[in-house]
Each structure stands twice: as structure tokens, then as C-alpha cells.
Amino acid sequence: MIILFDLDGTLIDSTEAILEGFHHSFDSHNHPHPSDEEIKILIGHPLDVMFSDLGVAQERVWDFVDTYKEHYRKISTLKTELLPQAREAVELASQFAELGIVTTKTGKYSQVLMEHFGIMEKFQVLIGREHVENPKPHAEPIQKALESFSNIQQKNIWMIGDTELDLISAQNASVNSIGVLSGYGVKNTLEKHTKTIFNNAYEAIKYLKSVKETHN
């Protein structure tokens, strides 16, 4: 079995760092600030898409992204925490499956976070925004991650995420998906894309453990 995890809202809570990064960028470029809620509803999308949707002119978007990244790099480990039972989810999953991370965050910073939490060694691959041309909901991030595993045709593959972007990406890549309610998506939206929804990643992993045991 192969299990791929999203990060924000699935394994980690970096809401404070993300919001601070956005407001810092809007401050730095003397741009009107959106509300926290307007920012949070877009979490999971690439940064350039988020800034564009928040009213930044297309020709200035990458300046805002660069400013955000520079600030986020400084605060990410201080203002990010593992979600409740996320560590237990990863540790349990590593006992019966091969693991990967597929995120729209910058992969370089994501790896630093996972090393900070002491769980990066559990993952065989981490695919971030800079590793693909087409981010989620495109199939490419999942397909890219699966290149790191052998004999994938013979394995049961699952993607766990908290937004419809994760679930649509899984559909597009023809892999199974589980929605979790620990992040930024809402149940009635997730239900449009998967029949399998749990409160958090730990519940999802316990379910997958039972699936594997049933098929053994």
C-alpha cells in the first residue's frame, strides 16, 4: 500500500504562519489587506493563484510571492505545529505502508518542517510546488510522487487531504482518496469527490490499516 499525504490541514497547522506571511507581503507592497477569512478559504491553492484571487495585479503577483516566501522561511518552524494525532497517524501508517507527501507548499520549506518535527524519515518522497509544472488539482503531483515507488501497478494507492484540490488530483491520477475534516475543506464539498471522509488523518490511517488487513 502507498499512502500520500497533503500537508496543510491534513498533517500540519500553519495557518498563523500563512496569514502572517500574507499580511507581511501586503504591508510590504502597500496593498489593501484582505481579511483572514478571505485568505484561509484559498489555502491549498498555489501562492500565485492566492495572491491573484486576493486582488493583486498579475504583473505584480510574483513580487508578492517572493516577499511572502522570504518572511515565511523565517517564521515557519516557529508558527507551525502538527495537528492533533498527526504524528501518531504517520507512525502508524509507516508500519504497514510506503509514505509520501504531495503538497502545494514549497517543497524545500516543507522538508524543513518535517525534519523539524522529526518525521521526514518516514516519507519516501516529498513533492512540492517547485517539483511540478501543474499543481493540484492536476494529476501531475501525484504522478510525480509515484515515480519514487516501485511496482505501483500492484499496490493500493491512497491520497489523504483536506480540500477538494487533493481529492480531484487523486481522481485525475486514478488513485483512491480520503477527505479529512481537520483543515480548510468542508464536508459537503469533500463529499462531492470521495465517499470516504474522516475527522483527521489518524482516523483515516486506522481505516486504511483495516483495509490492508482485510485484503491480506
Question: Does the pLDDT value for residue 216 go beyond 70?
Answer: no
Task: Say whether both 62 and 98 belong to one domain.
Answer: no
Q: Which three cell numbers stand for residue 121?
A: 524519515
Judge whether 86 and 92 are in contact, CB under 8 Å. Answer: no
| pLDDT bracket for residue 164 (50, 70, 90) | very high
Residue 45: name the closest of 25, 24, 59, 65 by CA.
65
Q: Same domain for 73 and 135?
A: no
* 6 and 110 within one domain: yes
Residue 199 pLDDT exceeds 70: yes
Are β-strands 157-161 and 176-180 bridged in parallel, bridged antiparallel, or unpaired? Answer: parallel
Same-domain pairing of 201 and 136: yes
What values do phi and psi take at 57, rounded to 5? -60, 145
Q: What are 35-49's pLDDT values in tens digits?
A: 999 999 999 899 999
**Phi, psi of 30, rounded to the nearest 5 degrees:** 50, 50
Measuring CA to CA, which residue among 141, 73, 138 is closest to residue 112? Answer: 73
pTM of the model: 0.93
What pLDDT is recorded for position 134?
96
Structural domain harbouring 112: 2-13+82-215
> Are 47 and 140 part of one and the same domain?
no
Q: What is the model's pLDDT at position 44?
A: 87
Judged on CB neighbours under 10 Å (0-12, 13-18, 19+), 28 is: middle
- Interatomic CA distance for residues 193 and 199, integer angstroms: 16
The per-residue pLDDT for 215 is: 76
Q: Are residues 54 and 31 in the same domain?
A: yes
Closest by CA to 96, choosing from 143, 154, 155, is 155
Q: Which of 43, 78, 113 is the last residue of a domain?
A: 78
Percent of the chain with pLDDT over 70: 100
Q: Could you tell me if 69 and 166 lie in one domain?
A: no
Cβ count within 10 A of residue 143? 19
pLDDT, mean of residues 81-91? 97
Residue 196's pLDDT is 97
Say if residue 9 is in the same domain as residue 19.
no
CATH number at residue 132: 3.40.50.1000
Q: Give the pLDDT of residue 14.
A: 93
Distance CA 28, CA 45 (A): 22
Measure the CA–CA gap between 100 and 15, rounded to whole angstroms: 22
**Residues 99-142: tens digit of each pLDDT:** 999 999 999 999 999 999 999 999 999 999 999 999 999 999 99
User: Is the domain of 126 the same as that of 210?
Assistant: yes
